[in-house]
Amino acid sequence: MIDIKRRAAELGFAATGIARLDRNPHADELDRWLADGHAGTMTYLHRQADKRKDPRLIMPKAQSAVVTLTNYCHEAGVASPAATPRVAQYAWSSDYHDVLGERLEQLASAIREIVPGSATRCYVDAGPVPERELAQLAGLGWIGKNMMLIHPEIGSFTFIGVVLTDAALEPDLPFEADRCGTCRRCLDACPTQAFAGPRDLDARACISYLTIEHRGEFTATEATQVGEWLFGCDVCQDVCPWNVSFARATLDPGFAPHPDIARPDVGQLVTMNEQEFERRYDGTPLTRPGHRGMRRNAAAVLTPSPPLHDVEPGNDL
């Protein structure tokens, strides 16, 4: 399957692997995570559970997943950046669903040429695909204690994109090693102590969930939890030694940073009307919480916060 990987590299994907589709070996972990209520109000995760537990159900006769990583890192090796408010790096550029959607379609058409008569379907962060699981099975890295897929030479500031196909492609070996070892920096550094344990994130306490997925106003506690984060959160990745050592800024023109997002004017965001918001942020990830959600986030960032009781002293942020 060298041809598929060569084509993927030409399209700008940083790494590509192939997994044979089978029942998800960590289906029980997903069930437990959902039963514990850790998905919060993301009810679609409950609805999609059967497909995530057995990705062969996603597409008729699906046999293989071609899994890609795309590096979106902008500031490499930064454990405590000075600029506030902060926006997670994955959101600094045009919407990755659009940029990667097009690239994955091109990769899919290469697969159909290489295996005539095959069918394909493309996914990036929208659909019932267990993306991190498939990336690990395709040999692209291990799942860290922070739940991120970590590539040993790129780190975790990557998007995962998947092409499912009914073609029986030769699979790569899964990435079996767990290179976290005894480290637990991500768990200790999380500003809201959102990890119930290694690889067990209670999304309800996660800043990324609160600022992007949560609908409605914040409670006083939630507004405090958000802290300096206007959109998303990178702390559990910033502190990871694999990112500190190996993440490098992307040169991909499709992910050039927009200054309005990377260094936003939070005062303006609070007062911005909907029309202006759409003019500035249309086609960017900030449209997910939308005008209302971003105004809420901006107001929370501007509210002076008392220190969180449950942040342990001496963590390194």
Of 79, 29, 48, give the one whose Cα is nearest residue 196.
Answer: 29
Applying the rule CB under 6 A, the residues between 195 and 224 that interact with ligand SF4 are: 201, 206-208
316 has catalytic annotation: no
Among 11, 190, 261, 294, binds ligand SF4 (CB under 6 A): 190
| Burial tier of 275 (Cβ tally within 10 Å: 0-12, 13-18, 19+) | exposed
Q: Please tell me the distance from the alpha carbon of residue 70 to that of residue 162, in angstroms, as a whole number.
A: 11
On whether the CB atoms of residues 236 and 148 are closer than 8 A, the answer is yes
Question: Binding segment for ligand SF4 among 48-56, 60-68, 188-196, 244-252 (CB under 6 A)?
Answer: 188-196
Q: Which is nearer to ligand SF4, 232 or 257 (CB)?
A: 232
DSSP string, 299-317: HHHHSPPPPPTTSPTT---
Q: Which is nearer to ligand B12, 233 or 261 (CB)?
A: 233
Among 184, 215, 279, 292, binds ligand SF4 (CB under 6 A): 184
On whether the CB atoms of residues 13 and 161 are closer than 8 A, the answer is yes
Residue 14: count of CB within 10 angstroms of its CB: 20
Kindly name the residue from 28, 36, 50, 125 that is annotated as catalytic: 125
Identity of the amino acid at 54: D
Q: To the nearest whole angstrom, how small is the minimum distance from the Cβ of residue 17 to ligand B12?
A: 13
Residue nearest to ligand SF4 (CB): 144
Asked if 14 is part of the footprint of ligand SF4 (rule: CB under 6 A), the reply reads: no
Residue ranges that bind ligand SF4, judged by CB under 6 A: 144-146, 180, 183-186, 190-192, 194, 201, 206-208, 233, 235-236, 239-242
Catalytic residue positions, numbered: 125
